[in-house]
Amino acid sequence: MSASKASTSTQPMDEEPVLRVFNSLTRTKDVFKTKKPKHIDWYNCGPTVYDSSHMGHARNYLTQDIIRRILRDYFGYNVNFVMNITDIDDKIILRAREKYLLDQTKSSNPTLTPGLIKDTRIAFGKFLSSKLIKSLPSPIDTSSTTDDLEIFHTILDKYKTDATFAESARTKEEKFALYIASLLKAHGAIKIAEGKLNGSNQQDVDDLIDGASDVLGPYYGETLGHTIKDPISVSRTLALYWESEYFKDMERLRILPPNFKPRVSEYVNEIVQFVSRIIDNGFAYEAEGSVWFDVTKFDGAEGDGFRHEYAKLQPGSKGNKKLIDEGEGALTGSKGKRQSADFALWKAKSKPGEPAWPSPWGEGRPGWHIECSVMASAILGKGMDIHSGGVDLMFPHHDNELAQSEAYHGCQQWVNYFLHTGHLHIEGLKMSKSLKNFITIEEELSRNTARRLRLAFMLQNWNQKLDYSRGLIADTKAKEETFDNFFANVNARLSQAGSSVDDQHGMGEAEIALTNHMFGAQRDFHSALCDSFNTPSAIQVLLDLIAKTNIYFSARARDANLGVVTNVAEWITRMLRMFGLGEGAPAKNSIGWGLAVQGGDDAQNGSDTSAQVEPWARAISSFRDTVRKLAMDKSISSDQLSKQILALSDRFRDEEAVNLGLQLDDGQGNDGGALWKIVDPSSLISAREEKRKIIAEKQAKKEALAKANEEKRIALLEKGKISPKDMFKPPQVPTDLYSEWDDQGIPIKDVEGKEVSKSAQKKSLKEWKIQEKLHENYLTWKKEQEQAQ
């Protein structure tokens, strides 16, 4: 070989792909570079813990977990993952005090009282006027009554019967349907309670308060909130409960716990110090006990060789009052606020009964946006590699985080990469309680496994809208079955091969081609993950490799080189488990992703062995008993015995084995027997039912065709009763049609005595011959019937 050829052959054919990540700050895929070699400091916005976790949470936290695993277990980074718990928030305060006051009302009322029902009616009226009537798209005449319950029914009737009105109402206020539902539930509870007023018990009280909680809770919060002696404890109790429930849901979803999970309530002192420094730096001001960030002063302010910039993530939303107000919270006032775009760093205590902490500006609590800036800075320092959260947090929350943090640290760029997960839609619509498509994580895990949810999310890009639909779940199930069947097939062949080794090396063209397919798949898989964690493409690479391996299996049958197949299966296993799609410990041969169970719990681990073995023992014992009885029955001939045993074997394969998750492929084993596989019973049962459905449909079509043919045959016999000589004569034809016929009964003159045309006679002759054949068939059939009798 020449020197020139030798040097050329050592050159790489393709440029090695580098990891690029879609960065919300630049709105492009940026080359990923960390501040420290092979180390990532990552802050993720955690939950506000006041209610059940839902599929929107799953979209965010599952997605972050998948990316985190890819960075850690595929690209080899050490990841310091920090996720906060927001346990001081207006939503928590409102929900906690309402729950506390409703519980207190239950405990202080063993029976229904006129006063309690009066409170509920007042609460109903306030909710009706402040929520529903205020949201009406057009006035409704309610002058005929002053009773709030009757007024509500007038509106309800209009809503139910006038589709245009209903659509206009929902357009004006997206929560209109929720308001209707809350009032309808309260209306029913009040009516029932009024009927039981003279003979009630504690359960009746609980039913009224629970039924009217949506209207009664806010009313008591406004009127009795000041009576709460320890509002911090009340809020903390609710937050701790929902925090615990949140982490249970995350565990069910197989989401890795964070390295640190700071709570806002633990960082109030640090928040006060942080806010004080922003004031000292000239970017915030105190007004009537609150502290506001001065957006105008910050935006464009000179830094050390740079200018500060506000709303880096969503500059188009700058000044959007609706988004700004939503970010401030329901309990935040605006006293002393200089500009509408300014946002609260510290909120003054506005009412008795609200939780508050001491500060240089008086008692109050942290603003929402400042919380994350302080906790992230306290743990990660002046900056970080990655900050992540849902796309709905971009403005104002994350833009405000960036502004106040850069104002505090005096830096130009606090975050290097901002990762925002896309919106979650359900069947094409935004998830919303008003649309009745609101799904909690617990609810969804009762229908689908944690692995299926993870895989479904991976089939769409992480930073794009995810449409969680029946079609997506069906596609995910099909892909799951492909992986399941592949692992079952490989393990079955490995199990039956045992330790036998033939004297051939077994590396022909097919084996070399499959090996090259695997290396090509590994390159494509790497390229996909380097392309901003393109999991849809990565999963498809694995599925394509499985398809090529299945083709190899089919071609080589029992002569397949299991060593080559094992290499493929082990790599696919490692990649699936890297994504977090594995269940339980890997198998001894390191092949397979385990059995996923609904509910997200490790239902198979640590369960009673006898409970697992019992259905197998029952099926095998029953099969054996039936075979023994047949063998001992001397009245059965050997030929009949063979047929019955074969039928029993087939029934065991198609019924008992399927129900157990045992797939038996006759004649596919190394010894010519069945190739057995342990697979998910539900997939086998589903396949069996689908096969039965196809057979039933074929049988139904066959029976329908036979019925149609029989009906046709009977119709023809009925038609054949008439002799061809009579077919053109009355009463078979009208009396005013013909007047003369030939010897065969074919008409030759019409009713007026004119000769029938030659073409008409020719047509009649053709019909005559057909009828002659039908009549012969009828006479033959009649003769057969008479002989049979």
What is the chain's mean pLDDT, rounded?
A: 90
Closest CA to 404 of 429, 380, 444, 372: 372
Q: Residue 26 contacts by C-beta under 8 Å, 6 or more apart in sequence?
A: none
pLDDT digits (tens, 9 = 90+) for 591-645: 999 888 777 655 443 334 444 666 777 778 788 888 888 888 888 888 888 888 8
pLDDT tens-place string over residues 346-395: 999 878 889 999 999 999 999 999 999 999 999 999 999 999 999 999 99
Poorest-pLDDT segment among 25-34, 234-243, 385-394, 584-593: 584-593
What is the DSSP-derived secondary structure letter of residue 86?
B
pLDDT at 556: 86
* pLDDT tens column, 445-464: 999 999 999 999 999 999 99
Q: Can you tell me the distance from the alpha carbon of 577 to that of 770, in angstroms, rounded to the nearest whole number? A: 74
Joined together, the tokens standing for residue 581 give: 């799609």
- Give the DSSP H or E segment for 376: helix 368-380
**Predicted confidence (pLDDT) per residue in 390-424, tens digit:** 999 999 999 999 999 999 999 999 999 999 999 99
* CA proximity to 132, closest of 169, 168, 165: 169
CB 292 within 8 A of CB 284: yes
DSSP output for 54-76 = BHHHHHHHHHHHHHHHIIIIIS-
Q: Across-strand partners of 28?
A: 23
Length of the chain counted residue by residue: 789
List, for residues 642-661, the tens digit of each pLDDT value: 888 888 888 888 888 888 88
What would you report as the CA-atom Rg of the chain, rounded to the nearest whole angstrom?
39
How much is the average pLDDT of 308-323? 93
Q: Classify the C-alpha dihedral 234-238-239-244 as positive or negative.
A: positive
Q: What pLDDT digit, counting tens, does each position of 530-584 carry?
A: 999 999 999 999 999 999 999 998 998 888 899 999 999 999 999 999 999 998 8
Confidence bin at 498 (pLDDT 50/70/90): low
pLDDT of residue 568: 97
In the prediction, which pLDDT does 640 show?
86
Higher-scoring residue by pLDDT: 340, 664: 340
